[in-house]
Amino acid sequence: MELDNIERYLEKYFEGSSSIAEEKALQDYFAGAEEHIAPHLREYAPVFRYFSRSRDETSTREIRIGTGRRKKHVYGWLSAAAVVAIAAGIWFSGYTSRDKEAEARLAYEETVQALYMIGENLNKGTARMEYLEEFDQTKKRILPERELQ
Amino acid sequence: MPFKDKLFRLAKRLLTSTEEAEDALQEVLLKLWVNKGKITAYRSVEAFAVTTTRNYCLDRLRSKQASNLKLAHSNYTDEASSLQRQVEARDSVSLMHKIMQGLPEQQKMVLQLRDVEQYEFEEIGDMLEMNPASVRVALSRARKAVREELIKKHNYGVG
């Protein structure tokens, strides 16, 4: 009776249509002592024994994911520190750039002032040149012949 | 994590060596940890974990193949030693191990997930991104392949 079931389960097993419960029954049947297994089915025993034995294998290496949590904590602090650093950076860079701007404006104004001074002096120079021209013209009028020679 | 060992066994089934499987497990668990926000959106955390493991191992195998590196498995014995082979032939469990190693990845995975871990077809379908009907077909094919190899080796050993 039980053998009938086993044969039927085995047939279903190879067709992929057996249920988990039927497969468990097969594994139990083949896990028993060799003499309790029907001789014509003995060749299937290694399959089921192998699969049940495979289930007992476990990883021996200890895996710590806890380090991940600590790392995350560090990230939290790191990001806080980064925010502070960036804020300070922006603040100071803003400060210095404003400082530089004022400096540049001052330099510009000084330059403009200096250029005005040069311009004024130049104008004074040309005013003097007018006298020179006057002198030249009178000279020409007084000494026309000599000039022609 | 309750299914940690299942992930380890699947990784070992695919990568063959214990060392490689443990490396894979570490990577996968780290990935799960990093994506723990996303996981809750998944139907099953376990299925997601198995899918991640499968993808990681297959990538690993592919990159190994590409770089032409051989897997460093500690439990592989050269077939050159006939004495060794005789001893192993007597040990039916290691014979099964050899047969399993010779199967294509897909068949290894369905056998591992069904016959070792005893998942339902729907669950395996989720894990391997297949529909349950094709899981059943793949499983039947894999089981028949194992039977064929077993009979072949058995006859060879006897004769």
pLDDT at res. A1: 46
* Distance, CA of B57 to CA of B65 (rounded, Å): 12
Angle (CA) A31-B100-B144 rounded to 5° is 75
Tokens of A68: 């991940």
**Which of A3-12, A110-119, A130-139, B51-60 has the weakest average pLDDT?**
A130-139
Q: Is A78 inside a domain boundary?
A: no
Rounded mean pLDDT of chain A?
83
Percent of chain B with pLDDT over 90: 58
The domain ranges of chain B are: 1-69, 81-159
| Res B149 pLDDT > 60 | yes
Q: Is A74 inside a domain boundary?
A: no
Class for domain B1-69, per CATH?
mainly alpha
**Mean pLDDT throughout A8-29?**
95
Shortest distance, CA B36 to any CA of chain A (angstroms): 12
**Mean pLDDT throughout A106-131?**
85
Number of domains in chain A: 1
| Res A6 pLDDT > 90 | yes
**Mean pLDDT throughout B64-81?**
56
Q: Which of B127, B100, B10, B87 is nearest to A57 (CA)?
A: B10
pLDDT at res. B65: 75
Interface of A with B (CB under 8 A): 13-17, 20, 23-24, 43-47, 49-51, 53-55, 57-61, 63, 65, 68
Q: Which residues of A touch B116 (CB under 8 A)?
A: 51, 54-55
Of B12, B136, B146, the CB nearest to A47: B146
Shortest distance, CA A78 to any CA of chain B (angstroms): 18
**Which of A24-33, A118-127, B84-93 has the weakest average pLDDT?**
B84-93
Q: With beta carbons less than 8 A apart as the criterion, state whether B10 and B57 touch.
A: yes
Q: What is the CATH number of domain B81-159?
A: 1.10.10.10
| Res A148 pLDDT > 60 | no
Q: Is A8 inside a domain boundary?
A: yes
**Mean pLDDT throughout B45-65?**
91
**Residue A139: enclosing H or E segment and its boundaries?**
helix A66-142
Q: Which of B117, B19, B37 is nearest to B73 (CA)?
A: B19
Q: Which residues of B touch A63 (CB under 8 A)?
A: 4, 22, 25-26, 29
Shortest distance, CA B99 to any CA of chain A (angstroms): 10
* Distance, CA of A1 to CA of B148 (rounded, Å): 27
Q: With beta carbons less than 8 A apart as the criterion, state whether B14 and B108 touch.
A: yes
Exposed, middle or buried, A27 (CB in 10 Å: 0-12/13-18/19+)? middle
How many angstroms separate the first and last alpha carbons of chain A? 154
Q: Transcribe B11-77 into DSSP letters.
A: HHHHH--HHHHHHHHHHHHHHHHHTHHHHTTSS-HHHHHHHHHHHHHHHHHHHHHHTTPPP--TT--
**Mean pLDDT throughout B93-116?**
93
Q: What confidence category does residue B159 fall into, taking pLDDT thresholds of 50, 70 and 90?
A: very low
pLDDT at res. B156: 67
With an 8 Å Cβ cutoff, are A47 and B147 in contact?
A: yes
Of B8, B22, B150, the CB nearest to A47: B150
pLDDT at res. A146: 58
Give the range of the structural domain holding residue A42, as residue numbers without chain letter. Answer: 2-54
CA torsion angle B108 B113 B116 B122 (round to 10)? -140
Q: Which residues of A touch B33 (CB under 8 A)?
A: 65, 68
Q: Is A25 inside a domain boundary?
A: yes
Which of residues A72 and A119 earns the better pLDDT score?
A119
Shortest distance, CA A29 to any CA of chain B (angstroms): 15
